[in-house]
A = this chain, B = another copy of it.
Amino acid sequence: MDFMDIAINLAKKAYKLKEIPVGALIIKENKIISKAYNTREHSQQAINHAEIIAIKKACKKLKSWRLNECEMYVTLEPCAMCAGAILNSRIKKVHIACLDKNHGAVVSKYNILTDGTLNHKSEIIVGEHEQEASMLLKNFFKEIRNR
């Protein structure tokens, strides 16, 4: 089981709670520092996307707002808020399973992490376990429409 498999399992936990299924984890030196999934509805917190919670936990664990030695694995392309948080925390590399054509702020709608004129850039890798992550989202929204 690789890191993106673990991120997808986190997304599945969100799915079971009827949250949009997105999971994220942060590693440092090949070890997991933090794991999270989207809990916006349960927490009724607009900011509680998987990436934000993972960053919060990682900063707490490392006692630093600078995560420049860290990498993130996330099942869906981050939105503007989450891409901005990745930028602000200086995460060096982001692995994204599938893109979000409507809200993605890393590749699809904006290029916040590779802009080059902001105060940080992250390396981006797209497509690890793409099909599994996107099927999970497709099934989730299909279920919602059928309800």
* Residue A107, interface by CB 8 Å: no
Interface of A is mostly: loop
> For A82, what are the chain B residues with a Cβ–Cβ distance below 8 Å?
81, 84
Q: Give which listed residue, B45, B65, B110, contacts A60 with CB less than 8 A.
A: B45
**Known contacts being A44-B59, A89-B46, is A105 close to B84, with CB within 8 Å?**
yes
Q: Quick check: B88 and A65 within 8 Å, CB to CB?
A: no
Which residue in chain B gives the minimum CB-CB distance to A81?
A: B84
A residues contacting B by CB (< 8 A) are 40-41, 43-49, 52, 55-56, 59-60, 63-67, 79-85, 87-90, 102-103, 105, 109-110, 112, 115, 117-119
What would 9 more interface pairs be, CB under 8 Å, given A46-B85, A81-B83?
A45-B59, A46-B59, A46-B65, A46-B66, A79-B87, A80-B87, A81-B88, A82-B84, A109-B115
